[in-house]
A and B are shown apart, each in its own frame.
Chain A
Amino acid sequence: MEIGGYAGNILHVDLTKNEVKKEPVAPELAKAFIGGLGFSVKLAYKHIKPGIEPLSPENTIIIGAGPLVGTIAPGSSRIYAVAKFPINNAIGWAGGGGMTFGTMLKNAGYDNVVIKGRASRPVYLKIFDDDVEICDAGELWGRGIEETSERLWAKFGWPAGIIAIGQAGENSVRFAMSFVDNASTLGRGGFGAVMGSKNLKAIIVKGTKGVRVSHPRKFMKLVDGLLQRVRQWEHLDEWHEFGFWIGLPLLPKEMFYQLNKRRLSCISCPIGDKDVVEIKKGKFKGLTKVTTTAINSVVPLLFGLPLEDSIKCITTLDDYGMDMFEFFSVVSFVNELYGHGMITGEYMQSKIAFDLESLEKWAGKIANREGFGDILAEGLPGIIDKFGKESQKFAPPMSKGLSVYSGPTGPLLWDRFGTMELTQLVNPRGAHVAAGGSPTYYATRPLEKFPTHLDRMGVPESATERILPQPHHWQWGLKFGLVSPEDKAGLNVGRLTRYSEDWLSVLGSLGVCARAQINRFYYANLLAELYSAATGIQIGREELMKAGERVWNLLKAANVREGFTRKDDSFSERWLEEKSQFVEYTGKVKISAEIADKFLDDYYEERGWDVERGIPTREKLLELGLEDAAEEVVRAVF
């Protein structure tokens, strides 16, 4: 495919047969699915057969970088992986700031990599331009993510993009993650375990072919404008100084200096918010660690660990390649079960202490599946299976097998019910905040600012009316006696979530970072212009947003095929219970189960889906040109 932006090839790797082959990207795929996340979803729909076991050779990993990845469009380095997740059997996506990976993949000549089968021994996949090789990873197996990445860089040099797993992935811990360049994370739902089940320790990619754009002048004019706005941004200096830390005003700036070492960036990003943190005093003085954000390294403070121990604890979890939210969830859960006498001395002799020594010991037991760690490694659903239905009521609030981590019960403490909260329920992959993150992350944003903001995200005007509080649209609030007709409260989070997801879908398919600090500079029209200039394929704002919608619908259809329906999107009672004190976006109305359910209704309705079942209708899928999916969804449900 001789279109700008795209590398033009999909690389297929069969680890069982030890075979690699190249397939040209079909031009008709480009406009309909854009690339990156879109291509990955499309390929997953084709290659992941319904009903397969996630940790079997039949599961397929698809990794993609969109048409803007590798160009100089600011923050365009995002990569998206799709696979069937072992935590919940969902066809899940995992996105990460690509560091050097996406750019190198495109430079090597590939938009996507499709990996299936299982190698007969530990291997790593080496992709250096046309030289693609499945190499022996005996020397790397059993090592942590940092050491694995460093060894590969020592051997092959930098820049080279690396996706690696640690011991948790090797041993199929169902919440194992993969790390990109030892910095960004891929996959709360166990993407790392899928790599491990394939005996695939790492992927390393280097490329020298370059990425061209179809209309260089036009493209650079758009990029110049963008970079100028970035330079003029009043908060740029603060972001360069503090990184993501500044995005969470609750964190004291003084603490940042107690752990900051320096900053890292994904290729092409003018914000550069990846952190290198350092322990500056005590027993572990001098330990440095690369992290997707310094904020992660202070999460254990919530459980009472001192700062230095907190950094050390996260270093250990990251190195094993284990999702920290799930780690803390499973540990808290078994402690609660132990407290209620539901776990006996056969498994645990006492509660797991929340101190560094004990947490590191248990992290090791889980990563290596030793003793009771083997059960914890199955994640929340596995623990419930083991200790019976009765245990479920003590489980932390969860959605599709993963703990919901932004909300009044933490660990991302937040009492407002916004898109970030709702998407944790409706996201086909399970509890994850990113798809609802951009518009309402700073949920105290005044409502007056929303119209501009929604327009930026490509929301049509007609929908804006339904999303923003209109007294006459506030009927359900009135019905429940929660608001008076004059009350200006409310933001229809249900309807907004649809557009928030579509926006992520567009950004992800193009390859632009989804973090608010980058995507704030982009707007739907500009993205359409950038895509057109890069590829030479003319696209308008509506068509681009439609492609985003198409991608999300196909992802949902893939999950309906696996048996997911509205019941899987439901609220955990515990999440909404009295003490949790969730309040509606503007802080005026307390969220009840009825309101939450109404948000779900509105979400499905705004998507044009079957509200009762919570799945795409045949008409919607046909409207989006997804004929195969339309047929299969009907077959799966009726």
Chain B
Amino acid sequence: MRTTAGRQAPERRSKLPGKIIEIETHPSRCVGCLLCQLICSFSYEKMFNPSKARIAIERGDDGFKISFTDECTLCGRCAQFCVYNALEAKR
């Protein structure tokens, strides 16, 4: 059963103190909604464009793989928008 512990409203999460040091990924929870790519590209490219996102979602045989490009700033916005708790910003 999927755990939902840790789901927080986005505004609360962004007010947590401290710099993000890592975005922990839980690929088994990823459903391929690409909300992370939409918000990342919107934040940095001013448009919704999955191909310009700094987070990569790859479709594997048995689920999705998640990785980040070198340009990722660890701003954490993708984690804020991932409703499925597949991304978790660690401070």
Contacts and interface: CB of A to CB of B under 8 A. Distances in A.
Interface of A: 70-72, 100, 103, 107, 153, 158-159, 207-213, 216, 220, 224, 227-228, 230-232, 236-237, 240-241, 262-270, 272, 274
A180 to B, nearest CB: 14
11 contacts: A72-B42, A100-B32, A159-B32, A210-B48, A210-B51, A227-B10, A228-B10, A240-B84, A268-B38, A270-B33, A272-B31
B2 A241 contact: yes
B52 A264 contact: no
A272 B33 CA distance: 7
Summarize B's interface: helix, strand, loop or mixed: mixed
Contacts of B11: 228
Contacts of B4: 237, 240
B58 A158 contact: yes
B46 interface: yes
Given A264-B32, A268-B35, A210 B45 contact: yes
B1 interface: yes
Contacts of B83: 227, 230-231, 236, 270
A100 B37 CA distance: 13
Interface string B63-81: 1000000000000000001
Given A264-B31, A267-B38, A270-B35, 18 more contacts: A70-B48, A103-B50, A153-B59, A158-B59, A207-B51, A209-B49, A210-B48, A210-B49, A211-B48, A211-B49, A212-B47, A237-B4, A241-B1, A267-B33, A267-B34, A269-B33, A270-B83, A272-B31
A100 B31 CA distance: 12
Given A210-B45, A228-B10, A268-B33, A159 B39 contact: no
A237 B29 CA distance: 13
Given A158-B59, A208-B51, A227-B83, A265 B33 contact: yes
Given A107-B51, A210-B41, A266 B9 contact: no
Nearest to A99: B32
Given A158-B58, A270-B83, A228 B9 contact: yes
B15 to A, nearest CB: 14
Nearest to A257: B1
Contacts of A72: 35, 38-39, 42, 48, 81
B9 A232 contact: yes
B7 interface: yes
A272 B2 CA distance: 14
Nearest to B28: A262
Interface residues of B, number: 32
Given A158-B59, A231-B10, A270-B83, A211 B47 contact: yes
Nearest to A266: B33
Contacts of B35: 72, 268, 270
A265 B31 contact: yes
A231 B9 contact: yes
A288 to B, nearest CB: 8
A352 B57 CA distance: 46
A208 B41 CA distance: 11
B8 to A, nearest CB: 8
B49 A107 contact: yes
Contacts of A159: 32, 34, 50, 57, 59
B55 to A, nearest CB: 13
Contact of A263 (B10, B31, B52, B58): B31
Contacts of B41: 210
Contacts of B2: 240-241
A107 B50 contact: yes
Contacts of B57: 159
Nearest to A262: B63
A612 B46 CA distance: 54
A213 B39 CA distance: 13
Nearest to A4: B47
Contacts of B33: 265-270, 272
Nearest to A243: B31
B21 to A, nearest CB: 24
Contacts of A232: 9
B46 to A, nearest CB: 7
B24 to A, nearest CB: 19
A270 B82 CA distance: 8
Interface string B14-28: 000000000000001
A227 to B, nearest CB: 7
A272 B84 contact: yes
Q: What 4 A-B pairs come out closest when comparing CB atoms? A: A210-B49, A210-B47, A265-B33, A265-B31
A228 B11 CA distance: 9
Given A240-B84, A241-B1, A264-B31, A216 B58 contact: no
Contacts of B52: 208, 210
Contacts of A227: 10, 81, 83
A71 B7 contact: no
Contacts of A269: 33
A241 B51 CA distance: 29
Among A210, A268, A269, the most chain B Cβ lie within 10 Å of the Cβ of A210
Contacts of B47: 210-212
A216 B46 contact: yes
Given A227-B10, A231-B7, A240-B2, A212 B46 contact: yes
Contacts of A211: 47-49
Given A231-B83, A240-B4, A71 B31 contact: no
Contacts of A107: 49-51
